[in-house]
Amino acid sequence: MPRELSQKDINLLKQVAPECKGLDCAGSGAPYKSILPPLANHFATSEKDFRERLEKLGQEDLEYLLSLIQNGSESLGCVPPHYMQVFIDLV
């Protein structure tokens, strides 16, 4: 279910992707609606980089991401499966 990123979401995205300057997808021009897809597809350069970025988050932030996934707010459709495995392994 698409959503507008909250300030907390934006802060999390900028924590794991400090180079993030705007909140629009470079490919589609549409605003980001989730945290993990842009991290995986626009900022992380590899699975290792994706993991290292996620490791910057504390337990509370990871639990927040999990709650977004559980309630359907965090879209995972655009996250490559091997990146999702990295997230699952980390959690």
What tens digit of pLDDT does each residue of 11-21 get? 999 999 999 88
Question: Is residue 73 domain-resident?
Answer: yes
**Domain of 23?**
7-90
In this prediction, residue 60 carries a pLDDT of: 95
Question: Is residue 59 domain-resident?
Answer: yes
State how far the Cα of 75 lies from the Cα of 36, in Å rounded to an integer.
8
What tens digit of pLDDT does each residue of 74-84 get? 988 889 999 99
Question: Is residue 1 domain-resident?
Answer: no
How many domains does the structure of the chain reveal? 1
Residues of the chain with pLDDT under 50: 1
Question: Is residue 2 domain-resident?
Answer: no
